[in-house]
Amino acid sequence: MNGGMTTAPLFSHSPPAVLQTVEKLRHFVKVARARGGRIALVPTMGALHDGHMELVRRGQKKAQAVIVSVFVNPAQFGPGEDYDAYPRAWDSDIEKLTAAGAQAVFAPSVSEMYPDGFTASVSIGGVAEPLEGERRPGHFNGVALVVTKMLLQTMPDVALFGEKDWQQLQVIRGVAADLNIPVEIEGVPTVRDENGLALSSRNAYLSPAQYHVAIRLNKILFSMAEKLRAGGSLQAALYGGHVEIAKAGFDSMDYLEIRDARTLRQASTKTEGLRILAAVRLGKARLIDNVGV
Amino acid sequence: MNGGMTTAPLFSHSPPAVLQTVEKLRHFVKVARARGGRIALVPTMGALHDGHMELVRRGQKKAQAVIVSVFVNPAQFGPGEDYDAYPRAWDSDIEKLTAAGAQAVFAPSVSEMYPDGFTASVSIGGVAEPLEGERRPGHFNGVALVVTKMLLQTMPDVALFGEKDWQQLQVIRGVAADLNIPVEIEGVPTVRDENGLALSSRNAYLSPAQYHVAIRLNKILFSMAEKLRAGGSLQAALYGGHVEIAKAGFDSMDYLEIRDARTLRQASTKTEGLRILAAVRLGKARLIDNVGV
């Protein structure tokens, strides 16, 4: 130790600290802050894939300690949705986080997050209302609540969220701004597999045959963006996309829209700051994706 | 300055800094923290009286910098309530805060608190539902929202609220606990005038004749508490209270209840941890008061 030529990084190459209570989380943050470190929070529902790992890597560029929360949040699942079936993969999650050098995992129980007598709710309108808001009533209230709680439990300098859940990212930005939560919200571009499929824990639901349909979704969205960039009209791009979706073999489509990227309002005449968003259903999976124009 | 035998206290005896934006508030807090100081927040709607000054004095015992917010929050007034008529008294508020040695006044505009496009809401159930919750629909949502925002704007170590608004204090404790807002919520006993009337900015609405009716309210509540402490039954105390209220000359009564002090649920058999709460109407004033048993 003394006089050695090299020093190991403070945290890396050891498994992350596993914190199961808010008290332990806050103690960890206090110690990390006392060492002068900035804190990044990466909220997840576990079943980690390389999209999550990209959030961890981005967090490491912005902070000295990256805390990854793993919590399948019942408040954001509706009746009949896949709360019970949602993939859990604790051991492999810890392996991945160890390899990535995350400093801590916050893995609270449901009763730690929502103890007996809990009654609070947080919601926003506007950006939370269309698209997913219409198809998944209450979903964004559940997201707003758990993210508000986790931000206030952790008080990170920065919190990172994937652009794959584009509307969720705008909802979280809205909640943080409206409630004056003192944190930087960082969106991270979607990570895709070699066929362009947006990584998602729910991709585990896909059979090989369904996978070959699923990979059509990103290609259709990118092709729509290409047409718009080439000067095509919103109407033509949208019509073309609908035709392609119909031919691709999905079971059904929840929506395919070209919206203002920030407000998610209709964008009938705008040509800048647009986002193409889609949700389709395929077997047990509901796939969402989005691309910028 | 140099070599002087005495040094003035860092802040006192000068008027409070007037902060009209969240940015200036946060800068003030940052500077105060950098000096090693603890921060106390006293949220008010202005028209300050000695009840507010007691909150400031308690804050000074718990922190080095006391920030008093003065903001008549439209979100907590219902349709037909007295938002427009609510007393404003900026100059005398500043005089009182100067005399009391408060370090800063946070006085945001409505648009600073609720800018265009603002859509967030915060609410809790349980303790917010009975009594004032039934008579003033949406009131506690407005309180929960503005207090959440102010706590997150300021990030104080402690925030102080009067026990005069007992149910509001329990609502705020609930919101802070459920959302994990990292702050100590301190309730401060009600300040009363020489006739026992709980100080309230709305007492300004009372004519001299109405004042002589208004001062009956606290005497009736204290007399009920006395009967309970002497072994009287809840039912007898409550009946006696109702009779006295009816004789006192109020225009009407919204409620007179003996409740669990923390949950505000019915307390039909309990004899400890009780609170007697009442709301009555008198001219333009709606008077509330409460006492412990």
Kindly give the residue spans of alpha helices, DSSP state H, lying in chain A. 22-34, 50-62, 90-100, 110-113, 132-135, 139-154, 166-178, 208-214, 216-229, 234-248
> Average pLDDT in the A237-244 region?
97
φ and ψ at residue A31, rounded to 5 degrees? -65, -45
pLDDT at B12: 47
Candidates B121, B129, B171: best to mutate against A (most CBs of A within 10 A) is B121
SS3 assignment, position B215? helix
Instruction: Centre a 10 Å sphere on the Cβ of residue A283 and count the other Cβ atoms it contains.
Output: 15
> Average pLDDT in the B184-213 region?
97
Whether the pLDDT of residue B241 is over 70: the answer is yes
Burial level of B4, CB count in 10 A (0-12/13-18/19+)? exposed
Mean pLDDT of chain A: 94
Q: Which residue of B has its CA nearest to A144?
A: B120
pTM of the model: 0.94
Whether the pLDDT of residue A18 is over 90: the answer is yes
Is A230 within 8 Å of chain B by CB?
Answer: no
Is A23 within 8 Å of chain B by CB?
Answer: no
- Do A152 and B180 make contact, defined as CB atoms within 8 angstroms? yes
Is B155 within 8 Å of chain A by CB?
Answer: yes
Residue pair A48/A93 in contact by the 8 Å Cβ criterion: yes
Where in chain A do CATH 3.30.1300.10 domains reside? 201-292
pLDDT at B3: 41
Whether the pLDDT of residue B8 is over 60: the answer is no
A123 to chain B: which residues are within 8 Å by CB?
Answer: 120-121
| Closest CA of chain B from A101, distance in Å | 27
- Do B120 and A153 make contact, defined as CB atoms within 8 angstroms? no
Respond yes or no on whether ipTM tops 0.90. yes
Q: What is the CATH code for B17-188? A: 3.40.50.620
pLDDT at A272: 82
Architecture of domain A201-292: 2-Layer Sandwich (3.30)
Q: What share of chain B is helix, strand, coil (3-state, %, to 5)?
A: 45, 20, 35
Residues of A with catalytic function: 52
Residues of B with catalytic function: 52
> Average pLDDT in the A73-96 region?
95
Is B184 within 8 Å of chain A by CB?
Answer: no
pLDDT at A13: 57
Q: In chain A, what percentage of residues exceed pLDDT 70?
A: 95
SS3 assignment, position A145? helix
Is B138 within 8 Å of chain A by CB?
Answer: no
Whether the pLDDT of residue A3 is over 60: the answer is no
Whether the pLDDT of residue A214 is over 70: the answer is yes
> Average pLDDT in the B86-95 region?
96
- Do A179 and B117 make contact, defined as CB atoms within 8 angstroms? no
- CA–CA distance from A223 to each of A257, A270, A292, B292 (Å)? 14, 19, 11, 69
Tokens representing A140 are 């964004």
Binned at pLDDT 50, 70 and 90, residue A4 comes out as: very low
> Average pLDDT in the B169-184 region?
98
pLDDT at B267: 87
A33 to chain B: which residues are within 8 Å by CB?
Answer: none
Rounded to whole angstroms, the Cα distance separating A46 from A86 reads: 9
pLDDT at B13: 56
Mean pLDDT of chain B: 94
SS3 assignment, position B171? helix
Binned at pLDDT 50, 70 and 90, residue B268 comes out as: confident
